[in-house]
Amino acid sequence: MSDPPEPSDTASKVLDVAERLVQGRGFNGFSYADAAAELGITKAALHYHFAGKAELGEALITRYAERFARALDAIDARTDDAMDKLRAYAALYGDVLRNERMCLCGMLAAEYQTLPAPMQGAVVRFFDDNEAWLAGVLEDGRRAGAVRSDGDARDAARMIVGALEGAMLVSRLHADPARFSEAADRLLASLAAPGPADVGER
C-alpha cells in the first residue's frame, strides 16, 4: 500500500475536484459529500484542510485568480502587440470551454447573491483585475494605433469581459464551442483599428 499523500498534496487534489465541480455545476450545485466521494476520503478529511465550504470557495478563487494572473503575465512577456494580447486573452476563455468547463469566477458571479461575503469580494476583485489589465492593453493599443480610440478604455474592458463570459454561456447551452470562437472573433474585429486598405476604401 502506498504512503498517504502529504496534506498539501491532498489539499491540492481537493481544490482540483472542487474547481471542476464548480465549473460544471456551480458552487451551490455540489457538496462536501460530492467532493469527498470523488476523492475517496471522508468529509472529516475535507474539513481538516478547509474548515468549511466558504473557506474552500475562497481558496478556489485565490488559486484561480493567481493562475489567471500568471497567464496574463505570460501574454505580456510574449508580445507587445495589443491585438495579439486581446486574442490571447480570448483564447484563455476558449481553452476552458473546450475542456467542457466554464470560467470559475463567471459561474460564481451567477450565484453572487448566495455566496459568503469573502467570496463575493474575491470574485469582484478577479473581474476588477481583469478589467484593469484589459484597459491597459487597450490604452497601449490606442497609442500604437492598433486599437480603435473611441470611448473609455475601462468601459471597453468591461464590455470585453461581459461579451466573452456571455459567449461562453451560450456556447455551453448549445454544446458548440465554435459559437464562442465566432463571437470572440467578431468582438476582436470590432476593436481593431482599420488598416491602410480599410481606410482607403472609405
Would you state the cell numbers that stand for residue 164, as one nine-digit string?
Answer: 466573452
Residue 201 has pLDDT above 60, yes or no: no
pLDDT reported for residue 4: 39
Q: How far apart are CA 50 and CA 160, in angstroms?
A: 34
Rounded to the nearest integer, the mean pLDDT of the chain is 91
Q: How far apart are CA 80 and CA 98, in angstroms?
A: 27
Quote the pTM value. Answer: 0.89
Q: What are 8-36's pLDDT values in tens digits?
A: 688 999 999 999 999 999 999 999 999 99
Percent of the chain with pLDDT over 70: 92
Give the CA dihedral 103, 109, 114, 119, nearest 10 degrees.
Answer: 80
Q: How far apart are CA 160 and CA 176, in angstroms?
A: 20
Q: How far apart are CA 15 and CA 63, in angstroms?
A: 9
Would you state the cell numbers that stand for residue 53, as one nine-digit string?
Answer: 465550504
Domain 55-192, second-level architecture: Orthogonal Bundle (1.10)
Cβ contact 109:50 at 8 Å:
no
Q: What are 58-112's pLDDT values in tens digits?
A: 999 999 999 999 999 999 999 999 999 999 999 999 999 988 899 999 999 999 9
Q: How far apart are CA 147 and CA 138, in angstroms?
A: 7
